[in-house]
Amino acid sequence: MAKKSPRKHSSHSVVLIPGDGIGPEVIGAAREVIDAAGVKIDWVPGAAGESALKPHGSLLPKETLDAIVKYKVALKGPCTTPIGGGHKSINVSLRQGLNLYAAVRPVRSIEGIKTRYDNVEMVIVRENTEGLYSGIEHEVVPGVVEALKIVTERACTRISEYAFEYARGHARKRVTVFHKANIMKMADGLFLKCARAVSQKYPDIAFNEMIIDNGCMQIIKDPSRFDVLLLDNLYGDIISDLCAGLVGGLGVVPGANIGEAGAVFESVHGSAPDIAGKGIANPLAAIMSGVMMLNFLGESEAAQRIKAAYNDVLASDNPKVRTKDLGGEGGTREFTRAVIKRVQKG
């Protein structure tokens, strides 16, 4: 599996994919903040999404995939997949095409963002390449559609190992696997079997099992009891958004898709075309994803300065620099400038 670079390099090449809608605005903000932190990055342009269809003839051009393969790391904005017309999800195509098998989404309470919870500190680790998202479905007879859930021992073991390695590497104490093996005894049963087998290799990490529907209820009742969550593709997609709702929504949660050959870091919210170009989009998730990217690149000092900066901006509770979705009256530029100012203070 891809791991954080053990050495700090003087410069890096990163594929920059602005995406659609508010994507160019929030990714542009993330780039500004990273540049302000003094990290030397050669930003390699990449196209994806609806905006790439006309000039490149594809939602996910081969040139973009080739660039990510070459440079190993990308920072990506939200992309729009046109509804209808047989277009496959860009995100699914990207993850499967590059074998980015581990989706990692840290979810934490942030001072200054008021929600019903103030004790959330968990990481969702989601298998990213198979399950029901394999996209294998067909009409058996008119009016009857069959979708296949693909589950392999290799993928289940690989994502389980990633979850436990992540827990150990980030001083996490517990991994909880969510499943529905009581009903899908073979498919989810295999996922659970692999998680159990891998857990035996990590006696220093506590291991729990939870049926997915009960797990959803337990998360809402007391999210503080959870640390690292291990899930298959569909469950991980749903739980990721549920957990984001505990801390303020998708606008305050970063994401990463990591594989053996590289990684793509992305804000996981939508492209929000209704507010594109209005200067009111919240760039926090994109900036936070950039912080995850910097840690992956070994630029931990810069990552920590940026994290401390946006934490400080949010904790200050200044409505003039907070975006409207966070209860403020500022916009993308105001928030970005406030973060940059604190980053440069050191």
Q: Which two tokens stand for residue 51?
A: 């905006």
Rounded Cα distance between 79 and 268, Å, is: 10
Predicted pLDDT of residue 5: 44
| Distance separating alpha carbons of residues 326 and 1, to the nearest angstrom | 36
Nearest to residue 79, comparing CAs of 57, 106, 46?
46
Does 237 qualify as catalytic in the annotation? Answer: yes
Whole-number Cα distances in Å, 232 to 131, 137, 177, 236, 256: 7, 18, 9, 6, 16
Q: Determine the pLDDT at residue 86.
A: 58
Give me the DSSP letters along 193-205: HHHHHHHTT-TTS
Q: What is the distance between the alpha carbons of residues 129 and 131, in angstroms, rounded to a whole number?
A: 7
Q: What is the pLDDT along the chain (346 residues), one digit of tens a residue?
A: 444 444 444 689 999 999 999 999 999 999 999 999 999 999 999 999 999 988 998 999 999 999 999 999 999 999 987 765 556 778 888 888 899 999 999 999 999 998 999 989 999 999 999 999 888 999 999 999 999 999 999 999 999 999 999 999 999 999 999 999 999 999 999 999 999 999 999 999 999 999 999 999 999 999 999 999 999 999 999 999 999 999 999 999 999 999 988 899 998 899 999 999 999 999 999 999 999 999 999 999 999 999 999 999 999 989 999 999 988 999 999 999 999 999 998 6
Q: Which amino acid is at 66?
A: D
Element at 14 (helix H, strand E)? strand 12-17
Residue 213 annotated in active site: yes
Task: Give me the catalytic one of 20, 72, 76, 133.
Answer: 133
**Do 314 and 110 meet the contact criterion of CB atoms below 8 Å apart?**
yes
Q: Which of 213, 222, 278, 345 is catalytic?
A: 213
Which pLDDT value is given to residue 6? Answer: 41
**CB pairs under 8 A, 24+ apart, for 298-302?**
298/4, 298/5, 298/6, 298/7, 298/8, 298/9, 299/8, 299/12, 299/39, 300/8, 302/34, 302/37, 302/38, 302/39
Go through the domains of the chain in sequence order and give each one's CATH number.
8-100+248-346 (3.40.718.10), 116-247 (3.40.718.10)
The pLDDT value given to residue 1: 46
The active-site residue out of 166, 237, 310, 325 is 237
- The answer to whether 302 touches 38, Cβ cutoff 8 Å, is yes
pLDDT at 88: 72
- Phi, psi of 303, deg, nearest 5: -60, -45
Catalytic hit among 20, 180, 232, 235: 180
pLDDT at 253: 96
